[in-house]
Chain A
Amino acid sequence: MTGYVLRRLAQMLPVLLIASLGIWAMIYAVPGGPAGMILGENATPQQLAALRAELGLDRSIVAQYWLWLSGALTGNMGRSIFYHQSVASLIMERLPATLQLGLCSIIVGLLLGMPVAVISAIRPGTWIDRVLSGWSALALGVPTFWLGILLILLFAVELRLLPSASAHVPFFEDPLAMLKNVALPAITLGTYVSGIFARFLRASLIAELNADYVRTARAKGLPERQVIGSHALSNALLPFVTVVGLMTANFIGGAVVTESVFTYPGLGRLLVQAISTRDYPLIQGAILVIMVIYMLTNLIVDVIYAYIDPRIEYA
């Protein structure tokens, strides 16, 4: 098992390295280069030269990349041009908000999607299955930003129950306020997650329900609840885990958009603002952090899959 994890890490490393090279090179593709970008259009040649020396831009390209990478690895990603604050601290401020939103959306997705998957898998081909399949197509197809707007219209503008702009309130500070603030974004993103459950868990559950061991369980007189709950469902979750891995990209993309709909102060919104203000150190830092989170999530999904399914060879 440890060997498998190490091998996966070793495969990930070159991809990370090349992708980080791309992110680093971004700033050089911008007109004026890094120094011109920081000082603006009115900089004198002397100022530019001084800043270039300060930033190490007079060194070789390899040395410059190494400087940036070793900085990033130790948590030093430079200073934001717009906020005049270190990029790392800005990201660390926003990260908990994004993680909290992600977690809440997954819970909403489970609560909505799990029953849909189970009910339609028990009665495949019936009208209720067709209605619920329609739900999954809708949940996966509706743009998150439009759904978010519809929810704001209903719950904030018409019913005045929930805020239209969501602040980040840590759960342990004020659970009720946190729920009020995170409810709409979490339902928006959670709907997408529930669509994944409804479509893919249904498929793997149907396959499991046709297996011999399910017939045996029924034949020995186990109640249906137990047959589905403890036998079929736990096995159906196995192939489903890989689907979860494939969908992480959409989930992260959805989170970026959802945060903007609700002006929720997370990492995604920070990145969008950084692009609008052309704050390149912040853009680089945010993208780098999101990339590492994304790749680690994929790694964890693979490892969990290998761990819970003893049939998977680690080789």
Chain B
Amino acid sequence: MTRRVLEYPGAVAGLLFLGALICFALAAPLLGLDPLEQDIIASLEGPSATYWFGTDELGRDLFARAVFGARTSLSTAAGAVLIAGAIGVPIGLISGFFGGWRDALLMRFVDVLLALPGILLAMAMIAVLGRSQMAALVAVGITGVPGFARITRAQVLSLRARDFVTAVEALGASATYSMMRTVLPNAWSPILVQAVVLSSVAILLEAALAFLGVGIPPPTPSWGEMLRTGKSYLHEAPTYAVLPGLVLTLTILSLDSIGRSMAAVLERDDPLTPARQGRAA
């Protein structure tokens, strides 16, 4: 699949950008970047050779903050996708495989999660959990559960009807064996596509929550928080909000274009596969 995804120029551009971003995020401490060091005399400066993105109201290096913001964003997204997958995939698997009352019950649960738009569900959870990185991660993760559950269920339903599953069951395999060893391994591709799509949603959602002032609390550098504060200094330092926003946007567009290329490859290979769900946030 990897090689065929690389046939799409959008996916290649996306992978290159994400690759560079991840390298910067990983190497940040080695590059001597400090997101918290203040140089109050040099506050709200524009981009320069010393400060590539300029400085914020406390004279902190905005480039360093953007790079450390990438760590926050990417790790929150990864954690959220893991949570969403760990809850959503089993729900979809059991629901699609067994059908009947289990299906009805689990899908009603998913419907309840879908009763609110994603961002509001996340805000409601944060209202209860309080503002912290963990709360943001869990809240964003839970909003991704319905996407995983539905895509897995649809995939399992279509696999169940295929001959090789019937054959395994005719050979006397237990339900657990046929579900875990026959159906699930064949359902991974669309789940993987969903994971990529969801990570772009998760990054957007995390940033939106921080922008609204209910996400990861300061002083942890976060792109959404930078946009929130930068918005107050549009006259003094226009690049303050613009550049971190650009990094955020490019990250989202990169993941989106990789996800869409993967879905297109999947659709070409196997038109029966439900390739992707709409965005959740």
Contacts and interface: CB of A to CB of B under 8 A. Distances in A.
Contacts of A68: none
B204 interface: yes
Interface residues of B, number: 45
A294 B116 contact: yes
Contacts of B207: 143, 145
Interface in A1-41: 14-16, 18-19, 22-23, 26, 29-30
B208 A145 contact: yes
B261 to A, nearest CB: 12
B241 A19 contact: no
Interface residues of A, number: 47
10 contacts: A15-B111, A19-B112, A141-B256, A143-B204, A249-B117, A250-B279, A250-B281, A257-B119, A287-B116, A294-B116
B271 to A, nearest CB: 15
Nearest to B241: A149
A30 B1 CA distance: 47
Given A246-B278, A250-B281, A294-B115, A149 B126 contact: no
A150 B127 CA distance: 29
B108 interface: yes
A253 B119 contact: yes
Nearest to A27: B128
B32 to A, nearest CB: 28
B256 to A, nearest CB: 5
Interface of A: 14-16, 18-19, 22-23, 26, 29-30, 137-138, 140-143, 145-146, 149-150, 152-153, 157, 164, 246-250, 252-253, 256-257, 260-261, 271-272, 275-276, 278, 280, 283, 287, 290-291, 294-295
B245 A294 contact: no
A19 B248 CA distance: 32
Interface string B218-251: 0000001001001100110010011001101100
B262 to A, nearest CB: 15
B40 interface: no
B127 A143 contact: no
Interface in B166-213: 200, 204, 207-208, 211-213
Contacts of A143: 204, 207-208, 245, 248-249, 252
A152 B256 CA distance: 26
B118 interface: yes
A190 to B, nearest CB: 18
A18 B238 CA distance: 46
B120 interface: yes
Contacts of B245: 143, 145-146, 149-150
A212 B208 CA distance: 46
A283 B278 CA distance: 27
B222 to A, nearest CB: 13
Nearest to B244: A146
A257 B117 contact: no
B77 to A, nearest CB: 14
Given A145-B224, A247-B278, A252-B117, 19 more contacts: A26-B128, A140-B279, A141-B253, A143-B204, A146-B227, A153-B238, A157-B234, A246-B278, A248-B117, A249-B281, A253-B281, A257-B119, A260-B212, A272-B214, A275-B126, A275-B127, A283-B124, A291-B115, A294-B117
B231 A261 contact: yes
Contacts of A252: 117, 120
B115 A19 contact: yes
A184 to B, nearest CB: 13
Given A14-B108, A22-B112, A257-B208, A145 B227 contact: yes
Contacts of A248: 117
Contacts of B108: 14-15, 18
